[in-house]
Chain A
């Protein structure tokens, strides 16, 4: 269907040996690392440089000025995606045109800034770089503007020519500079560029301005006054179609034909024979091709020639006829020797209404994903791209948006913009985002929170879990147990929460106090994430109750930690030891039943300990302490049981 323009792949030189050596590489998120190596040491083993080169892909995204283009257009792009489908198409069209103009306005602003920067820099290399970027943006805006006229605004006969005139005027503005130079001179009519300016005005259909200029000449030549007057009248009478006016297109055509005949008559009867310049202008007005072509230098481009020719020969040209005139004007304008440039082909394809060719050639020639992605997206919203069933299921719009957004993700900082682009790629946007977002370096918690927000908003649960896990792991490495626990609670990572709870308990056993009380005291429902975390929270609660002298509640909680199997067996001895002071209070705190249960726990513990065999890696001393503890406990339990029975018996009776 479309021809592949076959172009040689671009070669990037790496400061490394090229003969007999290999280049190794490694993909990074935004670059490729390249190094000299030798994969099979079969060959001669010369000295190898051990330099590693960081090769970056896209230079444009590192330009501070183009960054403004990316950021500003992101906003327009997002706005475009929210235009509602159900709007009446007429309203939509005006919205699309206004969006198109917004995009172009951003390009222009960027271009101006680049131009200014190119002029003001002292570094010639930088100036060249800026200059190149300007020339690319100029081409982009030129193409975009034409696409806007032809595809988005869909100008009809009559209006079409007016819009093409505006297009040419906007992009061929050097006449204004020349004009002001002429007008500022002492004697404008004698300035060497005077006639160039007059003719340029005429070529662009700026007849009012041409007349103003001619008056200056007329006053200098009183003898030729009538001739100037005639020209002035011809220029003033040239009809222009007024869209939305009462005049119909046919009426306009009749009027225009009438005027054309009048100009032709003047030419026939040699009204301007004595003034070569006026004669020339008159020939332009009748649309004489040879005369037009004689002014190639003033026209500059074939498309200017095309528009001028249409202005003076076919002012009511229809969109469908454009391709014919465009083709012939290009052939006539370009020498037989010169080959059309890519830009010529792109514009020609636009005149032929071959949108796909325009996009395709642009993506090859302009090397700028920003442009093709945004233009294609806009054209797609205008329903101008038939959905092409592409091989991998995506469509052209999505393909280009994915490319553009992926490019943004290679940048340290611009990745945030890319998210919204991926969001609007129904087929692969999500999976691309998933792959890219998890690679964003999480330098600070602040940044991690921003990345998390993006993932949470899109229910990317696996990415959310992974990011929290990475943060928890990092906090743990940095010995920030509180932060680590917070992150694993957010990740709902029970295993990791258990692990950190263990660390807290270990710390408690080692030091006898809890660290990070502000956190542990405020776990709330998060406590339920893992058994160990629940135990940690509850155990701390026991300490609080104990500290507040709420012994009965404390005792009950302590016992339940063991009987409900919340406490790990390894911690039972600590818990039983904690019960000691409660058992030794003057007042009876554990009831007889509770004491029984405590005794049961102690027996269970001691029997399981003896089962594991005599102290595997415990010292004799530790063994002794343990035995003493158990005996103390047994004693205290027995005493308490006795007291409890006595007390309970007393109350009952």
Chain B
């Protein structure tokens, strides 16, 4: 792993969240300076800030993108007790060509009476739905019935969780076997309040969300929570950031056909790591859920991976080198590439199973011969259509190594 480039975000206060859009070509940042910035990747991979505006009257905790099927839409939530939906508008102005875009507020969701701590869009197969959770312990689900008119959002569900909420995560599974489901975490410090992670499931009959499960073993404050992509499995995988990193498996138990209650789950703990020493603040999966990243009080981001035996291990650490950049401003790509640690220790480790790079005793360097005959298709491959369709067959590469200094491969002699 290596730092490919650094971007001067130029926020005037702490950055609280950075979020990639679905395709990874745009990102949004939010900060205690009450603003959100949108960044676009140029053709040559550099990031340019194309919009920056004041969004709230308090710290902006989280910013998140809607699926591009719904256009260019952002949601943010703040200490100011509101969440907001923003849409990029296109007009006849030439601003985008000057590297600027316009975002307008489509709605402000003012139902919460306390700080809105997390905001997430529901999986796209459910339509355009937005979920918020707040310190007053309420999860709210809003829906935009007309995707072309984002100024109208209706509050569909209001679910009281009794405990101050810090984070929510939707189960991304679009399988019909799985009703819509989300998990909510609480950062209540009181251990005696019981389980801090609750799972809610949608019931077709009552058209309401009801609690399906509480993870009773998680009694400390929970700061973040993340369902893994389902991969077509019958069970669900959930990562939790609490005083350590935990990975749970939720296996739905067979439901009697007459039962109308929520699904019962068998909860299994898959892994638990306390390498962050103290509190863990964020957990998040990569696209295929082969890697989990977590951030904690040790100031590190740790990467976790299961090997093919399903043993979870830490495979990489991102760590501040103690040299915060101060002089960085203005130019977004002011810093040169390759600032990471040396190849020996960093390369590739993020990929998982392997973790270190050994160095080999110096082997002989290859002697350079002429390289030719890359792909001489055997004449049998060039044939008329009247003949059988061309069978893909391995190409015999004729003696590529015929220089005098390199001994030829055995095939050159024997066959």
Asked whether the complex places CB atoms of A and B closer than 8 A, the reply is yes
Q: Give A residues with C-beta under 8 Å from B.
A: 4, 7-41, 45, 47-60, 72, 75-76, 78-80, 82-83, 95, 97-99, 101-102, 104-105, 108-109, 111-113, 115-116, 128-129, 132, 134-136, 138-139, 142, 163, 166, 169-174, 176-177, 180, 301, 341-343, 363-369, 390-392, 394-396, 399-400, 402-403, 406-407, 412, 428, 431-432, 435-436, 438-442, 462, 466, 469-470, 473-474, 477-479, 499
Complex contact B24–A28 (CB within 8 A):
yes
**Chain B, range 242-292, C-beta contacts under 8 Å to A:** 279, 281-282, 284-288, 290
Q: Does B16 contact A12, Cβ atoms closer than 8 Å?
A: no
Interface size class on chain B is 35 or more
The reply to whether A173 and B367 contact each other, CB–CB distance below 8 Å, is yes
A367–B357 CB distance below 8 A? yes
Q: Could you tell me the distance in whole angstroms from the C-beta of B398 to the nearest C-beta in chain A?
A: 9
**Residue contacts A-B, CB under 8 angstroms, 24 given:** A7-B354, A10-B1, A12-B317, A18-B299, A26-B18, A26-B27, A27-B287, A29-B287, A39-B279, A45-B14, A52-B29, A53-B3, A54-B4, A55-B3, A56-B2, A78-B392, A99-B394, A102-B397, A132-B343, A134-B365, A138-B363, A170-B407, A396-B308, A439-B24
Measured between beta carbons, the chain A residues less than 8 angstroms from B405 are 173, 176-177, 180
Whether A390 and B355, one on each chain, are in contact in the complex, defined by CB atoms closer than 8 angstroms, is: no
Q: Tell me whether B343 and A431 are in contact (CB under 8 A).
A: no
- B148 near A499 with CB under 8 A, answer yes
Q: Which residues of A contact B385 (CB under 8 A)?
A: none
Q: Quick check: which of B63-71, B104-112, B136-144, B199-207 contacts chain A, the rest being far away?
A: B63-71
* The residue from B300, B307, B410 contacting A166, defined by CB atoms under 8 A apart: B410
Q: For the complex, give the distance between the alpha carbons of A33 and B323 in Å.
A: 18
Contact, CB under 8 Å: A18 / B321: yes
Q: Which residues on the B side are within 8 Å of A34 (C-beta)? A: 301, 318
Find out whether the CB atom of B288 lies under 8 angstroms from the CB atom of A432. yes
Give A294 Cβ to nearest chain B Cβ, in Å. 20
**Residues A172 and B295 in contact, CB atoms below 8 Å apart:** no
What CA separation (Å) do A31 and B303 show in the bound complex? Answer: 13
CB nearest to A148 among chain B residues: B410
Residues of chain A within 8 A of B69, CB atoms compared:
466, 469-470, 473
**Given contacts A15-B324, A171-B364, are A10 and B357 in contact (CB under 8 A)?**
yes
A25 touches B295 (CB 8 A): yes
Contact B282 A24 (CB under 8 A): yes
Say yes or no: is B191 at the interface (Cβ < 8 Å to chain A).
no
Are B318 and A9 in touch, CB under 8 angstroms? no
A23-B300, A112-B369, A342-B358 known; A60 vs B20 contact (CB < 8 Å)? no
Question: With an 8 A cutoff between CB atoms, is B53 at the interface?
Answer: no
**Which of B156-164, B177-185, B209-217, B345-353 lies at the interface with chain A?**
B345-353
Q: Which residues of A contact B409 (CB under 8 A)?
A: 101, 104-105, 170
Instruction: With A24-B16, A441-B25 given, name 18 new contacts (CB 8 A).
Output: A11-B316, A17-B323, A25-B18, A28-B24, A29-B20, A32-B301, A49-B325, A49-B328, A51-B9, A52-B6, A55-B1, A60-B347, A172-B364, A341-B361, A390-B309, A392-B306, A432-B231, A473-B68
Partner of A23, one of B27, B318, B353, B401: B318
B154 lies within 8 A of chain A by Cβ: no
Q: B404 → chain A, closest Cβ, in Å?
A: 8
Alpha-carbon distance between A341 and B358 when the two chains are bound, in angstroms: 8
The answer to whether B299 and A403 touch across the interface, beta carbons within 8 angstroms, is no
B319 in contact (CB, < 8 A): yes
B341 adjacent to A9 (CB under 8 Å)? no
Interface pair B400/A108, CB less than 8 Å apart? yes
Interface string of B6-26 (1 = CB under 8 A from A): 111111111111111011110
Contact B411 A24 (CB under 8 A): no
Given contacts A104-B409, A132-B343, contact A95 B2 (CB under 8 A): no
* Most chain A Cβ neighbours within 10 Å, of B3, B27, B328, B374: B3
CA A30 to CA B20, docked complex, whole Å: 11
Contact B319 A367 (CB under 8 A): no
Chain B residues within an 8 Å CB radius of A37:
14-16
Q: CA–CA, A212 to B395, complex, Å?
A: 38
B121 nearest CB across to chain A (Å)? 15
The distance from the CB of A552 to the nearest CB of chain B, in whole angstroms, is 39
Q: Are A135 and B299 within 8 A (Cβ)?
A: no
Which B residues fall within an 8 A CB radius of A? 1-20, 22-25, 27, 29, 31, 45, 47, 68-72, 90, 124, 148, 174, 223, 229, 231-232, 279, 281-282, 284-288, 290, 293, 295-297, 299-303, 306-311, 313-326, 328, 335, 339-341, 343, 345-369, 371, 374, 391-397, 400-401, 404-407, 409-411
Given the known interface contacts A52-B29, A109-B371, A365-B358, the answer about A10 and B345 at a Cβ–Cβ threshold of 8 Å is yes
C-alpha spacing A83/B321, complex, angstroms: 51
Contact A440 B351 (CB under 8 A): no
- Which residue of chain B has the shortest Cβ distance to A170 in the bound complex? B407
How many angstroms between the C-alpha atoms of A41 and B79 in the bound complex? 13
Q: Is the pair B357, A21 in contact by a Cβ cutoff of 8 Å?
A: no
Q: Are A59 and B317 in contact (CB under 8 A)?
A: no
In the bound assembly, the distance between CA atoms of A580 and B362 in angstroms comes to 93
Chain A residues near B404 (CB, 8 Å)?
176
Q: Looking at the assembled complex, report how far the CB atom of B69 sits from the nearest CB atom of chain A, in whole angstroms.
A: 5
CB < 8 Å: which of B47, B288, B306, B362 contacts A435? B288
Task: From A24, A47, A55, A365, give the contact of B354 (CB < 8 A).
Answer: A365
**Which residues of A are found within 8 Å of B359, using beta-carbon distances?**
132, 135
Closest to A60 in B: B348
Q: A216 → chain B, closest Cβ, in Å?
A: 20
Which chain A residues lie closer than 8 Å to B9 at the CB level? Answer: 35, 50-52
Q: Are A177 and B14 in contact (CB under 8 A)?
A: no
B92 to chain A, nearest CB (A): 9
Nearest CB of B to A357, in Å: 14
> Nearest-CB distance from A408 to chain B (Å)?
12
Distance between B333 CB and nearest chain A CB, rounded to angstroms: 10
Could you tell me the distance in whole angstroms from the C-beta of A64 to the nearest C-beta in chain B?
15
A473 / chain B contacts, CB cutoff of 8 Å? 68-71
> What is the bound-complex CA distance between A406 and B305, given in angstroms?
14
Cβ contact within 8 Å between A367 and B349: yes
Do A50 and B31 form a contact, CB below 8 Å, given A109-B400, A390-B310? yes
- Other-chain contact of B371, A29, A113, A466, A478 (Cβ < 8 Å): A113
Q: Complex Cα distance A40/B310, Å?
A: 33
Please state if A439 and B287 are interface contacts (CB–CB under 8 Å).
Answer: yes
Assembled-state Cα–Cα distance A368/B351 (Å): 9
Q: Is there an interface contact between B394 and A102, defined as CB atoms closer than 8 Å?
A: yes
Cβ of A301: which chain B residues have Cβ within 8 Å of it? 361
Given A9-B316, A136-B360, residue A30 in contact with residue B24 (CB < 8 A): yes
Query: A4 to chain B: which residues have CB within 8 Å?
Result: 311
Do A26 and B325 touch (CB < 8 A)?
no
Residues of B close to A13: CB separation below 8 A:
319-321, 339-341
Give min CB distance, B309 to chain A, whole Å.
6
Distance in angstroms between the alpha carbons of A63 and B369 in the assembled complex: 21
Q: Is the CB of A54 within 8 A of B356?
A: no
Choose one: A23, A39, A142, A428; the contact of B363 (CB below 8 Å): A142
State the Cβ distance, A35 to closest chain B Cβ, in Å. Answer: 5
A115 to B406, CA, bound (A): 14
Contact yes or no, B371 A369, CB < 8 A = no
